[in-house]
Structure 1
């Protein structure tokens, strides 16, 4: 197996401040590059914070020029970053919760959240998901928060050959035990590495739990953040074996 280095970017987003959040994302990317990270996954709506009722005014087309600094940094660092943003697509009349794949080769792909939490329908429309990322012999399936609460979502990803299931989320203190148990269970059940990137601070009125984590295909924990705050959670596969660590930023 080829060497593969993945990371969760546990960020503390500033509500509605796209410019400041982009600068923080750039800093995360530079820090991740110091650990040779190839794929860096940010939380749900990481670029705006989880702010449903600001989404209408903040939503952009995926190829909006405001993301140019992030796309250029991805190319410069030879890194693929998955960032969270409210988006509008030509095929949709409403706002979607997007996970934008800013690839190392300069290309752009879009994943849109398929399953909404109760209440999110006031600000968002359900999305259509997106294609898995092909990475050598690996297939990396994406998810955004409530997607993983539907067991069919990771099951379908595994059936299509996913070896990694990467979820950008917002998980609160109260929901962390149940949600992390679900994700860990999917890893063992479907023999997939499962990556979870959570917010590291409050967002949208929620007290977020932090504690982003990566589990191996046997369900064993590879690495996790110890709590809240800005952090990178990194997992590396070399010669078929995974190791991991976390770094506070």
Structure 2
């Protein structure tokens, strides 16, 4: 049985620029593959940025062709990738904050945010969550930002048998001390490792704190990124112990991205 290798993609995205952000996501995926990553988790609403006022204009269907390049690359690099977009479902009045799960075979799954921050209800409907993922003999529960502010959310994940709680978030400097301790305590209390993927730059008027992190089943912080920017946090488990490191992700300048799309 091979050791599991998971990663948080801490990215600095461009507001509402899905094409540029798509290119950035693909760079992260290629970089992650160099380190043998099997699960790559991006922050909340990673493909659009956290831009609630733009959600209605940027909302996508569950089978959006926008994701086709990511689905193809996921198959090429054999990596399950979790990315963020506003999702349109006919049974909901407003867009949902969604994590699209692009599996290694290119198939799609989805997790929708269950608990909204105050003010998000103006732009979004609350969703219903999603199923556990099973990757590298590990059961993984997803979470989108405010979900983890409700203790019953990680508690339910633990009761379902989750061994890893993967949180896609937007956390600023002011909230980071409280939120990071909360996630650390969940890891310790439930005996469930926690991976947190934060934004790496300003989005939606918020200055993200970066400092994506991983806590093991004892609540020990195994690894964290140093500050903001485009950083990849890679963790793996060998001989029942977790190990981790961070690495920077080279970014193609916007002018070159435009040339590549032509």
TM-score, scaled to structure 1: 0.98
Please name the residue that 1:78 is paired with: 78
Match of 2:27 in 1: 27
Shift of 1:2: 4.0
In structure 1, C-alpha distance between the alignment counterparts of 2:168 and 2:21, rounded to whole Å: 16
Secondary structure in 1 matching 2:209: coil
**Partner SS for 1:26:** helix
User: Alignment length, in residue pairs?
Assistant: 249
2:90 & 2:136 partners in 1: Cα distance? Answer: 31
Give the SS at the match of 1:56: helix
Deviation at 1:240, TM superposition (A): 2.1
CA-based RMSD of the aligned residues comes to 0.9
Q: In the alignment, is the contact (CA less than 8 A) between 1:214 and 1:223 conserved in 2?
A: yes
Q: Distance in 2 between matches of 1:247 and 1:14?
A: 21
- Residue 242 of structure 1 aligns with which residue? 242
Give the match for residue 254 of structure 2.
none
SS at match of 1:182: helix
CA–CA separation in structure 1 for the residues paired with 2:20 and 2:203: 15
Partner of 1:182: 182
Match of 1:208 in 2: 208
For 1:24, what is the secondary structure of its paired residue?
helix
Q: Are the equivalent residues in 2 in contact too, given 1:169–1:198 (CA < 8 A)?
A: yes
Q: Deviations over 1:140-173 (max 9, x none)?
A: 0000000000000000000000000000000001
- Alignment correspondent of 2:148: 148
Q: TM-score, normalised by structure 2?
A: 0.93
Residue range with higher mean Cα deviation, 135-144 or 202-211: 135-144
Q: Does 1:167 align with 2:186?
A: no
